[in-house]
Amino acid sequence: MPTAYPGIGVSRGIAIGKARILQHGQVEVLEYTLPTSQLDSEVQRFRHALAQAREQLLQIRARIPGDTPGNIAAFIETHLLMLDDATLAEEPEAIIRAQHCNAEWALKLQADALLRAFATMDDAYLKTRCDDVIHVVRRVQQLLLQGGEGHEPLLEESAEPRIAVAADLSPGDLVLLHQQNISAIVTERGGPLSHTAILARSLRIPAIVGIPHVHDYINNHEWLVVDGNHGTLLSDPDAATTHFYQCKQASEQAAYDRLQTLTDQACRSSDGIPITLQANIELPEDIAELKRVGAEGVGLYRTEFLFLNREQAPSEEEQFTAYRETVESLNGAPLTIRTLDLGADKAFVPVRHISSNPVLGLRAVRLCLNETSLFKPQLRAILRASVYGPVQLLIPMLTNTGEIDQCLHLLNTLKRELRAQHIPFDEQLPVGGMIEIPAAALCVDQFARRLDFLAIGTNDLIQYTLATDRIDEAVNHLYDPLNLAVLRLIRHIIRSANEAEIPVSLCGEMAATPSLTRLLLALGLTRFSLPPTTLLEVKHVINHSNIKLLQQQIHELLQCGNEALLRQTINELNSDLPELSF
Ligand code: PEP
Ligand code: MG
């Protein structure tokens, strides 16, 4: 008799296989007191475990295939950096000596303190860092407890498909499991923004997280079905259930294969309107995936990833090299470089400003204008890279036109400096702004007079319009891309950009959500920027959409005060869409 366990589907796809229970829960750590004479050797034992953990991670990194997207190796890099960070490498030593305690306990105390500090922060990126701390600490604690034995999730050889079931899995664990041909993963802990979830999506491994005590319910070697689309785990499926999911799996694979044939096709609505699909990237290495899906350049390059997990900001030269190589690798397609969107609370060490409400505090362009020693080298690097291909500069989180004027003034000063130094740059470098604050959206006509293009950042625009923290689960129900106020703002921004005759794109998650694609087309959007992984699906929807017909329906929809009716009308926009889910 099949039993269903609901969880959160964080990586799509169906898998059918035998459970392989991996014990990756919290490590049981006991405290014991040491005499002074043993403290030196305890510190040595701790250092040895750190060195072994480092060695394990280096081995995992070396085993990542060369064609894997760049963000994957970056996760391992994050863990390596954490192992070297004084907060994890040195503080526990001080605790061992001060409290005469064992290394496991000292590490636990330090990790608990760090996690308590993270818990008070208001930032999605930092919350994923919490998972990283847990994974790194667990690796070291297991080495301490097991006297140096690794905790690699090794699976026995098997011809049958296997599904890993664990309390928690780190990105490093997933790399190893992937190499051992794991079919899917199911965990108690984790969320859609965790690095393990992001990695599972990149590797196309179906994944469900958030099933409490999952390994108490599942037996080793029991048959399971993982439905990553709906976040449902089924144990002990009967023949009819297995057959149903086998058919679903086959049709999803066929749909996926069909989508790949769209790579070289133009993106054009069924009534002939060309639509531009660009990619969001985070690291230069992401360009390979962009090319694979045929994106028309980069609509959003989140440069903050060059700055995270390090003590020093990258120099102008280092940034110039990264930007130059990226634009050159695009072979003539445009590269939109967004200037730093760091919050004061993000993991870039030299900038320390404690804000009582970081989401509303000194972040993005506010921080850059405040810390010109951070901003100027980036602007110079972007200007210098602009002679190697079509570069555009994009400023995030603009609140008012004064900030635009300040940025343009600084840019002009740097241009004069470069001219005087005979360093070439594109004199016509287009400068755009992100519209992600309601104040900017409402006054967008004024912004458009000063800028060459606009990009709508709906992730933040929704959060600020609805006064709803995008990562606070307690108010998740209010974070709604379909809220009428959000839709009206998006339409207003697009109309204003059209009136000003400047391009406008949308680069938040809404652009990457196929069920919202027709709605955005109806609102007048003709440029999307989205992660390469969902680009072909969105292209499929566009190629099967008649924009003129959609636009006839939008006026009434934007007058709809009833949320349920609004949702139903939006669903109806998609009703004749050919099946494509995979
Ligand atoms: C956005 O806010 O929609 C956006 C694209 O920026 P980020 O997600 O990097 O804040
Ligand atoms: Mg944003």
What's residue 523's pLDDT?
A: 97
Closest ligand 1 atom to residue 459 Cα is: 3
Residue 304: predicted pLDDT: 85
Identify the top-confidence range among 121-135, 167-181, 270-284, 433-447: 433-447
Res 347: pLDDT: 44
pLDDT of 465 > 90? The answer is yes
Q: How, if at all, do strands 162-166 and 14-22 pair? A: parallel
Provide the β-strand partners of residue 391: 335
pLDDT in tens, 535-560: 999 999 999 999 999 999 888 889 88
The pTM assigned to this predicted structure is 0.73
**Best residue for ligand 1 mutational test, from 337, 394, 436 (most atoms within 8 Å of Cβ):** 436
C-alpha of 246 from chain center: 30
The pLDDT, as a whole number, for residue 370 is 93
As a whole number of angstroms, the distance between CA 279 and CA 265 comes to 16
Cβ(224)–Cβ(19) below 8 Å? yes
C-alpha to C-alpha distance for 93 and 336, rounded to whole angstroms: 45
| Residue 578 burial (10 A CB sphere; 0-12, 13-18, 19+) | exposed
3-state secondary structure of 433: strand
Segment 482-508 mean pLDDT: 97
Residue with tokens 């190629």: 543
Is a pLDDT exceeding 90 seen at residue 82? no
- Round to whole Å and give the CA distance between 454 and 338: 12
Q: How far apart, in whole angstroms, are the C-alpha atoms of residue 42 and residue 48?
A: 10
Query: Mean pLDDT lowest for which of 9-13, 56-60, 73-77?
Result: 73-77
CA separation for the pair 141, 138 (Å, rounded): 5
Kindly tell me if the per-residue pLDDT of 160 is higher than 80. yes
* Percent helix / strand / coil, the chain, rounded to 5: 50, 15, 35
> Probe ligand 1: pick from 198, 460, 470, max atoms within 8 Å of CB?
460
pLDDT for 1 equals 77
Percent of the chain with pLDDT over 70: 90
Query: Does the Cβ of 458 fall within 6 Å of ligand 1?
Result: yes
At residue 346, the pLDDT reads: 47
Residue 302 CA, closest ligand 1 atom number: 9
Which of 200-204, 354-358, 360-364 is most confident?
360-364
CB 16 within 8 A of CB 249: yes
- Whether ligand 1 lies within 6 angstroms of the CB of 302 is answered as yes
Q: How confident is the model at residue 349 (pLDDT cuts 50, 70, 90)?
A: very low
**Is residue 151 predicted with pLDDT exceeding 60?**
no
**Cα(469)–Cα(462) distance, integer angstroms:** 9
Q: Is the pLDDT of residue 184 over 60?
A: yes
Segment (H or E) for 531: none
Confidence of residue 83 (pLDDT cuts 50, 70, 90): confident
Task: With a cut of 70, say whether residue 327 has pLDDT above it.
Answer: yes
70-79, 321-330, 458-467, 536-545, range with the lowest pLDDT: 70-79
Instruction: Give the catalytic positions in this structure.
Output: 195, 507
Q: What are phi and psi of 368, to 5 degrees?
A: -60, -40
Q: Which residues contact 26 (CB under 8 A, 6 or more apart)?
A: 138, 167
Cβ count near 3 (within 10 Å): 11
- Rounded distance, CA 71 to CA 365, Å? 25
pLDDT reading at 497 higher than 70 = yes
Cβ(282) – ligand 1 distance below 6 Å: no
Distance of CA 68 to the CA centre of its chain: 16
pLDDT at residue 471, rounded to an integer = 65
Question: Nearest C-alpha to atom 7 of ligand 1 is from which residue?
Answer: 459
For ligand 1, whether the C-beta of 131 sits within 6 Å is no
| Comparison of pLDDT for 581 and 87, the residue scoring more | 87
- Listed range (12-16, 85-89, 195-199) with the worst mean pLDDT: 195-199
**Higher model confidence: residue 360 or residue 78?**
360
Q: Are strands 232-235 and 3-6 parallel, antiparallel or unpaired?
A: antiparallel
The segment with the largest mean pLDDT, out of 150-159, 434-443, 470-479, is: 434-443
Q: Does the structure show a pLDDT above 80 at 486?
A: yes
Q: Could you tell me the distance, in angstroms and rounded to a whole number, from the CA of residue 364 to the centre of ligand 2?
A: 9
* Range 171-191 average pLDDT: 85
What is the rounded CA–CA span in Å between residue 67 and residue 64? 8
459, 513, 516, best to mutate for ligand 1 pocket (most atoms within 8 Å of CB): 459
pLDDT of amino acid 153: 55
Tokens 């064992």, residue located: 102
Angle at 478 between CA 494 and CA 188, to 5 degrees: 115
Strand partners, 227: 14, 232
Residue 341 Cβ < 6 Å to ligand 1: yes
- Condensed to tens digits (0 to 9), the pLDDT of residues 2-33 reads 899 999 999 999 999 999 988 655 667 788 88
Weakest mean pLDDT among 78-82, 304-308, 352-356, 412-416: 352-356
Q: What confidence category does residue 582 fall into, taking pLDDT thresholds of 50, 70 and 90? A: very low
Write the CA distances from 536 to 53, 188, 369, 481, integer angstroms. 39, 31, 38, 21
Q: CB-based contacts of 86: which residues, under 8 Å, 6+ apart?
A: none
As a whole number of angstroms, the distance between CA 329 and CA 388 comes to 10
Lowest-pLDDT choice from 202-206, 411-415, 527-531: 202-206
CA distance 254 to 287: 26
Which range, of 234-238, 505-509, 551-555, averages the lowest pLDDT?
551-555
